[in-house]
Protein backbone atom coordinates (compact mmCIF):
# COMPACT_ATOMS: atom_id res chain seq x y z
CA UNK A 1 0.00 0.00 0.00
CA UNK A 2 1.30 3.44 -0.91
CA UNK A 3 2.31 5.94 1.78
CA UNK A 4 0.97 8.75 -0.41
CA UNK A 5 -2.57 10.10 -0.37
CA UNK A 6 -4.12 9.16 -3.73
CA UNK A 7 -7.32 11.13 -3.15
CA UNK A 8 -7.88 13.27 -6.26
CA UNK A 9 -7.58 17.03 -5.87
CA UNK A 10 -10.89 18.78 -5.25
CA UNK A 11 -12.17 21.25 -7.86
CA UNK A 12 -10.50 24.29 -6.27
CA UNK A 13 -7.16 22.49 -5.88
CA UNK A 14 -7.30 21.24 -9.48
CA UNK A 15 -8.11 24.72 -10.80
CA UNK A 16 -5.13 26.16 -8.89
CA UNK A 17 -2.79 23.44 -10.23
CA UNK A 18 -4.02 23.83 -13.82
CA UNK A 19 -3.54 27.61 -13.63
CA UNK A 20 0.22 27.00 -13.23
CA UNK A 21 0.55 25.04 -16.50
CA UNK A 22 1.83 26.48 -19.77
CA UNK A 23 0.07 25.75 -23.08
CA UNK A 24 2.21 22.72 -23.95
CA UNK A 25 1.77 21.20 -20.48
CA UNK A 26 -2.01 21.70 -20.76
CA UNK A 27 -2.08 20.07 -24.21
CA UNK A 28 -0.24 16.97 -22.98
CA UNK A 29 -1.42 16.60 -19.37
CA UNK A 30 -5.07 17.56 -19.82
CA UNK A 31 -5.79 16.74 -23.47
CA UNK A 32 -3.70 13.56 -23.90
CA UNK A 33 -1.21 15.13 -26.30
CA UNK A 34 2.32 14.01 -27.05
CA UNK A 35 5.50 16.06 -27.17
CA UNK A 36 7.82 15.67 -30.14
CA UNK A 37 10.49 12.96 -29.75
CA UNK A 38 14.08 13.80 -28.80
CA UNK A 39 13.21 17.24 -27.39
CA UNK A 40 12.00 16.63 -23.81
CA UNK A 41 14.06 18.09 -20.98
CA UNK A 42 14.26 14.74 -19.15
CA UNK A 43 15.27 12.55 -22.09
CA UNK A 44 18.98 12.71 -21.25
CA UNK A 45 18.69 13.47 -17.52
CA UNK A 46 21.17 11.25 -15.65
CA UNK A 47 20.71 12.70 -12.14
CA UNK A 48 19.63 10.46 -9.27
CA UNK A 49 16.16 11.11 -7.95
CA UNK A 50 12.48 10.67 -8.63
CA UNK A 51 10.23 11.79 -11.47
CA UNK A 52 6.90 13.12 -10.21
CA UNK A 53 3.60 14.15 -11.77
CA UNK A 54 3.96 17.70 -13.11
CA UNK A 55 0.42 18.55 -11.99
CA UNK A 56 -0.03 17.04 -8.52
CA UNK A 57 3.52 16.05 -7.47
CA UNK A 58 2.87 12.32 -6.92
CA UNK A 59 6.11 10.28 -7.28
CA UNK A 60 5.87 8.20 -10.46
CA UNK A 61 9.28 6.75 -11.45
CA UNK A 62 12.72 6.42 -9.85
CA UNK A 63 15.82 7.35 -11.83
CA UNK A 64 17.14 3.83 -11.12
CA UNK A 65 14.43 2.41 -13.42
CA UNK A 66 15.16 4.80 -16.31
CA UNK A 67 16.77 3.39 -19.45
CA UNK A 68 17.65 4.55 -22.97
CA UNK A 69 14.98 3.03 -25.20
CA UNK A 70 16.08 4.93 -28.31
CA UNK A 71 12.49 6.11 -28.86
CA UNK A 72 13.05 9.80 -28.12
CA UNK A 73 11.07 9.89 -24.87
CA UNK A 74 12.16 9.18 -21.27
CA UNK A 75 11.54 5.48 -20.63
CA UNK A 76 11.28 3.49 -17.40
CA UNK A 77 10.87 -0.23 -16.73
CA UNK A 78 8.87 0.09 -13.47
CA UNK A 79 6.84 2.72 -11.63
CA UNK A 80 7.75 4.15 -8.20
CA UNK A 81 4.67 2.32 -6.89
CA UNK A 82 2.24 0.46 -9.18
CA UNK A 83 -0.65 2.20 -7.37
CA UNK A 84 0.64 5.60 -8.58
CA UNK A 85 0.20 4.90 -12.31
CA UNK A 86 -3.20 3.96 -13.75
CA UNK A 87 -3.59 2.16 -17.06
CA UNK A 88 -6.30 2.93 -19.60
CA UNK A 89 -7.08 1.19 -22.90
CA UNK A 90 -6.35 3.66 -25.73
CA UNK A 91 -7.84 2.84 -29.14
CA UNK A 92 -7.01 6.20 -30.74
CA UNK A 93 -4.84 6.59 -33.83
CA UNK A 94 -6.05 3.31 -35.38
CA UNK A 95 -4.27 1.05 -32.87
CA UNK A 96 -4.75 -0.33 -29.37
CA UNK A 97 -2.25 0.89 -26.77
CA UNK A 98 -2.19 1.24 -23.01
CA UNK A 99 -2.21 4.85 -21.85
CA UNK A 100 -0.73 5.65 -18.46
CA UNK A 101 -2.07 8.44 -16.28
CA UNK A 102 -1.34 9.74 -12.79
CA UNK A 103 -3.49 7.68 -10.42
CA UNK A 104 -4.12 10.71 -8.20
CA UNK A 105 -5.02 13.49 -10.64
CA UNK A 106 -5.58 11.66 -13.94
CA UNK A 107 -2.96 13.64 -15.89
CA UNK A 108 -1.78 12.01 -19.12
CA UNK A 109 1.78 10.69 -18.80
CA UNK A 110 2.34 8.59 -21.91
CA UNK A 111 1.97 4.90 -22.78
CA UNK A 112 3.31 1.54 -21.59
CA UNK A 113 4.52 -1.14 -24.01
CA UNK A 114 5.55 -4.81 -23.52
CA UNK A 115 9.02 -4.35 -25.04
CA UNK A 116 11.14 -3.13 -22.14
CA UNK A 117 14.10 -4.70 -20.33
CA UNK A 118 13.99 -7.26 -17.50
CA UNK A 119 12.75 -7.69 -14.90
CA UNK A 120 9.35 -6.24 -15.96
CA UNK A 121 9.79 -6.28 -19.75
CA UNK A 122 7.77 -3.05 -19.79
CA UNK A 123 8.63 0.30 -21.35
CA UNK A 124 6.80 3.20 -19.74
CA UNK A 125 7.26 5.90 -22.37
CA UNK A 126 6.74 9.35 -20.82
CA UNK A 127 6.37 12.93 -21.99
CA UNK A 128 8.90 15.17 -20.22
CA UNK A 129 6.27 17.91 -19.84
CA UNK A 130 4.19 15.46 -17.78
CA UNK A 131 6.98 15.26 -15.20
CA UNK A 132 8.85 17.21 -12.59
CA UNK A 133 12.12 15.97 -11.10
CA UNK A 134 13.15 15.75 -7.44
CA UNK A 135 16.86 15.16 -6.90
CA UNK A 136 17.96 12.49 -4.45
CA UNK A 137 17.77 13.79 -0.88
CA UNK A 138 15.45 16.70 -1.75
CA UNK A 139 11.99 17.27 -0.29
CA UNK A 140 8.98 15.79 -2.10
CA UNK A 141 6.72 18.31 -3.80
CA UNK A 142 3.43 18.86 -1.94
CA UNK A 143 1.34 21.14 -4.19
CA UNK A 144 -1.87 19.84 -2.60
CA UNK A 145 -0.53 20.75 0.89
CA UNK A 146 -1.44 17.38 2.38
CA UNK A 147 1.66 16.79 4.51
CA UNK A 148 2.31 13.17 5.49
CA UNK A 149 4.56 11.23 3.11
CA UNK A 150 4.56 14.21 0.78
CA UNK A 151 6.47 16.28 3.33
CA UNK A 152 9.32 13.82 3.93
CA UNK A 153 12.61 13.70 2.05
CA UNK A 154 12.80 11.63 -1.13
CA UNK A 155 14.81 8.41 -1.38
Per residue in 32-75, pLDDT tens? 999 999 999 999 999 999 999 999 999 999 999 999 999 999 99
Segments of 25-130 assigned E as strands: 49-53, 59-62, 66-67, 75-76, 85-90, 97-102, 108-113, 123-126
What domains does the chain contain, in order, with CATH numbers? 11-139 (2.170.150.20)
To which H or E segment does residue 131 belong?
strand 131-135
Tell me the average pLDDT across 117-136: 96
pLDDT number for residue 144: 87
What is the pLDDT at residue 97?
84
Alpha helices in 20-111 (DSSP H): 23-29
Instruction: Look at residue 134 in the predicted model and tell me its pLDDT.
Output: 95
- Residue 27's pLDDT band (boundaries 50, 70, 90)? very high
Which residues lie below 8 Å from residue 20, measured CB to CB, with a gap of 6+? none
**Residue 19 CB partners (closer than 8 Å, separation 6+):** none
Catalytic residues: 125
Helix (H, G, I), strand (E, B) or coil at 19: helix
In this prediction, residue 152 has a pLDDT band, given cuts at 50, 70 and 90, of low
Kindly indicate the confidence band of residue 132, based on its pLDDT and cuts at 50, 70 and 90.
very high
| pLDDT over 80 (residue 2) | no
- 76-121 pLDDT, tens digit per residue, is 999 999 999 999 987 777 778 899 999 999 999 999 999 999 999 9
Strands, sheet with 123-126, edge to edge from the N-terminal-most edge strand = 66-67, 75-76, 123-126, 108-113, 97-102, 85-90
Amino acid sequence: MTAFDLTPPDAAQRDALVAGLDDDERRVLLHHGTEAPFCGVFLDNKREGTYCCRLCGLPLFRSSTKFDSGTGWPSFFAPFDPAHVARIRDASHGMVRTEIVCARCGSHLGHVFPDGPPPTFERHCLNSVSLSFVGRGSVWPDPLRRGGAESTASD
